[in-house]
Amino acid sequence: MIRVADLPVEERPREKMIERGAAALSDAELVAILLRTAPAGHSVVEFAREWLEAFGGLEGLFDSDIRTLLQRHGIGPAKATTVLAAVELGRRVARRKLENLPVLDRPELAADYIARAHGGERVEMFGCLLLDSRRRMIGAPVLHRGARAHAAVEPAEVFHAAIVANADALILWHTHPSGDCTPSQDDLDLTRRLAEAGRLMHVAVLDHLVVARGGFVSLRQRGAFPSP
């Protein structure tokens, strides 16, 4: 059985976390810390990587239960309960953060959330804030990253996220790392296209925010949305 301690120092996830922080670790390295050991012939990180692939990534792992985990080779009650405890803690933290968020009924509140969450990014990002009927956020998926990322956005992926979350409404957003939050013609065209799609899908598109350092623009306030 190969343990984390048996790996070369540069491959030990714990040492890497201490030196560089948890964010520097891959999904497999984080899971390896929980698993601690692997069956003979595997490194712990390799075992964790194969394990995650079998579950379809972190999302599949989060949907697993104790019986599913115990069916995996090399996983006993100690490993299974350790992993599920970590998963449940993550769920509870995420749920409590969402429960404590303010009602996003003004563009200033939504823009402030986006700036806090993604203001440090150096590439353009596009996403949406998913809201319930009381305008409380129930999800915040990032849909694209990179230069002109939102130009590739399709209505299907936006509204799939909304439907899965049972959202009543959403706020579109993207960032301008340049610092200039002036909307482009592409921004206006995308806004109108997604607003029309939302009307058909019965998911209200409340706004599209362009967020940059020190400011934001609400395309709703700019009159970019089609008339009812």
Structure tokens at 90: 């993550």
At 171, give phi and psi (nearest 5°): -120, 120
Cβ atoms 42, 3 nearer than 8 A: no
* pTM, full prediction: 0.56
- Look at residue 163 in the predicted model and tell me its pLDDT: 92
Rounded CA-CA distance 62/4 in Å is 23
- In the chain, the amino acid numbered 17 is M
One-letter amino acid at 134 equals R
Q: What pLDDT was estimated at residue 98?
A: 59
The pLDDT tens digits for 15-48 are: 888 888 888 889 999 999 998 888 887 788 888 9
The list of the chain residues with pLDDT below 50 reads none
pLDDT of residue 211: 92
**Complete DSSP assignment for 68-92:** HHHTSTT--HHHHHHHHHHHHHHHH
